[in-house]
Amino acid sequence: MSAIDEVKQRTDIVEVASQYVRLTKAGRTFRALCPFHSEKHPSFFIYPEQQSWHCFGACNTGGDVFSFIMKKQGIDFGDALRLLAQRAGITLSSRFGQDAGRDERERLYQVNEAAAQYFHNLLLNSPDGEKTRNYVASRGFSPKTIVDFQLGFSLNSWEALKQYLMERGYTESELLTAGLVVEAESGKTHDRFRNKLMFPISDVRGHTIGFGARVLDDSLPKYINSPQTPTFDKSSSLYGINLATAAIRQQGTAVIVEGYMDVITAHQGGFNNVVASMGTAVTEKQVGTLKKLTKNLVLALDADTAGEEAMLRGGEIAAQPPPEDTAPRYLIPETPAASLNEPEVRRYIRLGRRVINKDALDIETSVIILPEGKDVDDVIKEDAKTWQYLLAKALPVVDYTCNMKTADLDLTTAKGKSLAADRLLPIIAEIDDTVRQDHYLTKLSKLTGTSYRRLEAALAKYRVDRRTTQPTKEAVAQPRRPLLSSPIEEYCLALLLQHPELKAQSEGLSPEYFENSENREIFVAWQQTDDLSLLKKDKLDPAIWEHLDYLINKSLPANQIEQKYTSCVLRLREKFLRGLETKRGAVLALEAEAGGTAAELAKLEEQGIEVSVQLGEVFTQKRRGRSVAKGVEK
């Protein structure tokens, strides 16, 4: 289902409109003083069944929930979509979530790519890069690895990169947006990365989106990153993902490590399914990206942070301050844990220094603990077999936690068994997948010698607790409403998009005939240009591209296009007028019942007459069309 459809299903126009106007129930409709024009007598109506609105007053227009929000807030379709999605608790993919236009993002990819090449060339060739070259060699990175990862070097200069890129036509403001230069208090800008080993960061499709940079001495901080930009969001990026995708798919497992060096060494050692979370938190977005590639995640944890700390602790995050090295903006979900409320916190679990989304529990997440004092980089360099051995021994995170939580208990005693149940049941209760939950309940039953039924009853208590302390996702969500499809609108649009020659005959069409906002958006944009590539690039929000593509590729009959188009337009017009008539009729009845003023009634009657006249025209044209068609057949 498209994002737009999902938002529609979760949104109630009555609820949305009631935030802007005072609605009064009137029969099967709601009425209010029109929010778009000034009036004393309410002529604005909402039709819950059609999820639409109409103003019979000065506006004499209507639409759906999207057009209501667009008109009310003075925003475009994309922003209305984002607003309604946020309201309904739906996460839109970053493509729709970012306000930056497609061109701007393309340009940012380009400037980042140009910078990456510049840094890479300096590392390979510049005399100033000598020390960094030696450092990289001392880490054992081969020339191929350096090229694969496009490692680079930034000069110890305030303006070298800035000048280089500006000479190539990039503007200062683009460099600022890309985070490659920084604005000083004086208002002057200078290079952000100076005298550092550079790690270009790519997205899944291989676009360069940002940089990590490492100092070459003992100064702190050891690593810095690009700031948040329209293309770079640290919490959704995974270092090495561009080089790891194929291997993750092929092997069916993704391994998440902490640092840049870990990823590079792993890949050089032939372990290409390794990516880094680049922070201490593994976020929902990162899990989301990996979920599309595989169901199996392995988290590599340092021994020093593993031990007692490295286990699931649902709901305890807020109680603890974030670890020292976790800058708040890297904590999930982009807000400091301390400000999350109870239900939100319970969606995350703590794993050593890592914080991961509870969703990770519902795909197979396993854990490996690295040998004391070593990171992945060390392990693989010393002996790749150790790494393979560790991976083979990776324990599902729930098993691992169970082991850790019961390590200090004597399970032969009644007290030990009871403590084990107390400690493990809350964790098992967190698992949403019933089959997997059952698996662990059976395991606990064996471990404690307690009957499965008794444990199940105890588990129910935790579930009830959960429900009373925090609404579940389902409980919060709006009821899903059926989607109102509009095949005629789509058919007509598909004809127009696929047959540019029809543009000459499009005067009879009005944007109003399209009740679906996305259809209306496409029609209005098409009126301005029928160049499909321009339509996408200049006129339409990325949120509508999917729908546009669907229409462009919709299969249509091959012959009598013009005739089909004409009859389609007539049907659209008829549908629109009939809809209007029904709405107006309902309002007229209401007005009459409520003893509306003669003037109001007269006005509605008048509008009704106009609609009838227009409908009459439609029927005449339809008849004419039929006889013309017959004539053609003869």
Q: How far is CA 192 from the centre of its chain?
A: 29
Q: Are the C-beta atoms of 193 and 211 separated by less than 8 Å?
A: yes
**Binding to Zn ion (CB under 5 A): which residues in 127-156?**
none
**Of the ranges 29-37, 67-75, 111-119, 428-436, which one interacts with Zn ion (CB under 5 A)?**
29-37
Only segment of 20-28, 33-41, 402-410, 458-466 that touches Zn ion (CB under 5 A): 33-41
Q: Kindly indicate which of the ranges 53-61, 174-182, 243-251, 288-296 contains the residues binding Zn ion, using the contact rule CB under 5 A.
A: 53-61
Q: Which of 26, 55, 306, 356 binds Zn ion (CB under 5 A)?
A: 55
SS3 of 146-204: the string is HHHCCCEEECCCCCHHHHHHHHCCCCHHHHHHCCCEEECCCCCEEECCCCEEEEEEECC
36 or 158: whose CB is closer to Zn ion?
36
Q: Give the max Cα distance, the chain.
A: 97
36 binds Zn ion (CB under 5 A): yes
**The one segment of 59-67, 70-78, 319-327, 449-457 that binds Zn ion by CB under 5 A:** 59-67
CB 222 within 8 A of CB 231: no
Per CB under 5 A, the list member of 22, 25, 28, 37 interacting with Zn ion is 37
CB of 521 to Zn ion, least distance (A): 21
∠ at Cα 457 (455, 463), nearest 5°?
105
C-beta of 17: minimal distance to Zn ion in Å? 13
Is residue 120 a contact partner of residue 47, using CB atoms and an 8 Å limit? no
Residue 63, interface with Zn ion (CB under 5 A)? no
Kindly state the smallest distance separating residue 59's Cβ from Zn ion, in Å: 3
User: 323 in helix, strand or coil?
Assistant: coil
Judged by beta carbon, residue 47 or residue 526, the one nearer Zn ion is 47
Alpha helices in 346-413 (DSSP H): 376-382, 384-392, 397-406
Contacts 24+ apart (CB under 8 A), 339-347: 342/315, 342/318, 342/469, 342/470, 343/469, 343/470, 343/471, 345/315, 345/317, 345/318, 346/314, 346/315, 346/430, 346/466, 346/470
To Zn ion, the closest distance from the beta carbon of 510 in angstroms equals: 18
DSSP state of 226: -
Check whether the bond before 333 is cis (ω within 30° of 0).
yes
**Residue 32 or 55: which CB sits closer to Zn ion?**
55
Contact status: 33 vs Zn ion (CB under 5 A): no
Give the three-class secondary structure for 21. coil
Q: Does 59 bind Zn ion (CB under 5 A)?
A: yes
| CB-nearer residue toward Zn ion: 61 or 450 | 61
**Binding segment toward Zn ion, per CB under 5 A, in 37-45, 63-71, 239-247, 388-396:** 37-45
Least Å distance between CB 61 and Zn ion? 8
Give the integer Cα–Cα distance in Å for 212 and 198.
6
57 near Zn ion, judged by CB under 5 A: yes
The distance of closest approach from Cβ of residue 625 to Zn ion in the complex, given in angstroms and rounded to an integer, is 35
Only segment of 54-62, 96-104, 282-290, 544-552 that touches Zn ion (CB under 5 A): 54-62
Name which position in 4, 21, 26, 34 contacts Zn ion (CB under 5 A): 34
Phi, psi of 500 (to 5 degrees): -55, -25
Nearer to Zn ion by Cβ, of 55 and 495: the residue is: 55
- b/e code 348-382 from CB counts within 10 Å (16+ = b): bbbbbbbbbbbebbbebbbbbbbeeebbbbebbee
Q: Applying CB under 5 A, does 473 fall inside the site for Zn ion? A: no
Q: Which one, 21 or 570, has the nearer CB to Zn ion?
A: 21
Q: Which is nearer to Zn ion, 35 or 288 (CB)?
A: 35
Smallest separation, CB 585 to Zn ion (Å): 19
Q: Does 116 bind Zn ion (CB under 5 A)?
A: no
59 vs 124, beta carbon nearer Zn ion: 59
Stretch that binds Zn ion, among 26-34, 261-269, 500-508, 595-603 (CB under 5 A): 26-34
| Segment interacting with Zn ion (CB under 5 A) among 30-38, 110-118, 306-314, 347-355 | 30-38
Instruction: Tell me how far apart the alpha carbons of residues 357 and 535 are, in angstroms, rounded to a whole number.
Output: 39
Q: How many residues bind Zn ion (CB under 5 A)?
A: 6
Collapse the DSSP code of 253 into the 3-class scheme (helix H, G, I; strand E, B; otherwise coil) and give the result: strand
Provide the minimum distance between the beta carbon of 78 and Zn ion in the complex, in angstroms, as a whole number. 25
- Choose one: 56-64, 247-255, 375-383, 586-594; the region binding Zn ion (CB under 5 A): 56-64
Rounded CA-CA distance 145/114 in Å is 20
Minimal distance, residue 603 CB to Zn ion, in Å: 13
CB atoms under 10 Å from CB of 241, counted, come to: 23
For residue 336, say if its preceding peptide bond is cis, omega within 30 degrees of 0: no
Please say which residue, 55 or 367, places its beta carbon nearer to Zn ion: 55
Residue 394 has, within 13 A of its CA and on its CB side, a CA count of 21
| CA atoms within 13 A of residue 491's CA, in its CB half-sphere | 16
Q: Which is nearer to Zn ion, 55 or 398 (CB)?
A: 55
7/55 with CB nearer Zn ion: 55
Name which of 59 and 552 has its Cβ closer to Zn ion: 59
In the complex, which residues of this chain contact Zn ion (CB under 5 A)? 34, 36-37, 55, 57, 59
